Homo-oligomer: A and B are copies of this chain.
């Protein structure tokens, strides 16, 4: 009997009505408190993808984390707000015990082949994953074990020594563990797999929480299929930390230098 990948278990949704889905957090993707945010990003997207009226492929997804998500059951509602000839606009919300815990909007589109050009530079040549050590897992939350991360730079500090860094950027290879073919949902999760920049910058732990996360999909189904289950390249940087909120930008690149996705987020932090 085939075993379901833990990622597919984590984003599994059971339709209970049209556009209404029941789901639950899984221990495999637990964070320090509640589930890993990337799973919530993927769950919100999955609700729209599973909807019988879904049209085309995801282009943009914004998830707002309205409150910490508790371990356990949740309900997701996805509503197409407007469907045009080639684009579709979604509103999605996740609730627990009747209270909204996350909201999202998504845009889907049927793409056509056009003139194309990557203007941002793909990450410069970096060692292949096999030449880099896998990141240490000890003392890290469960979800980190579900990714094989190999850092070129910008892993979490080995010591929380409070020595502030000038540069909190990261560059790494990342792959689902066990390996899994890349999909829109797994790409959405990877787009939120970058450790909070404030930890790398300040080398001290503090309460943090993403409040708004936007993911743009440049990959279409064909590009995802090309990538298969090989590791992708992640790049993340901080833009600004100011009075309780910091901005993080990130990109996910294929191992052949194709830009697969961008993500931006505003993250709450406490001193």
Contact = CB atoms under 8 A, between A and B. Distances in A.
A257 B100 CA distance: 38
Nearest to A60: B212
Interface string A42-70: 00000000000000000110101011000
Which residue, A119, A218, A220, A271, has most C-beta atoms of chain B within 10 A? A119
A103 interface: yes
Interface in A179-225: 197, 201-202, 211-212, 214, 216, 218, 220
Interface stretch (A12-20, A86-94, A149-157): A86-94
Contacts of A107: 64, 211-212, 266
Contact of A60 (B111, B211, B218): B211
Interface residues of A, number: 64
Interface string A242-259: 111101010100000001
Contacts of A259: 239-240, 242
Contacts of A84: 66-67
Nearest to A83: B66
B59 A264 contact: no
Contact of A103 (B99, B105, B168): B105
A30 interface: no
Contact of A120 (B66, B201, B240, B270): B240
A212 B113 CA distance: 20
Contact of A245 (B109, B202, B251): B109
A270 B86 CA distance: 13
Contacts of A269: 114
A264 B266 contact: no
A103 to B, nearest CB: 5
A24 interface: no
A208 B214 CA distance: 21
A226 B240 CA distance: 19
30 contacts: A60-B211, A60-B212, A62-B62, A66-B82, A81-B100, A82-B99, A91-B91, A105-B212, A107-B212, A109-B245, A111-B244, A114-B271, A115-B241, A115-B271, A116-B243, A119-B237, A119-B241, A120-B237, A120-B240, A212-B216, A214-B214, A216-B266, A218-B240, A218-B242, A218-B245, A218-B247, A239-B251, A239-B262, A240-B259, A240-B262
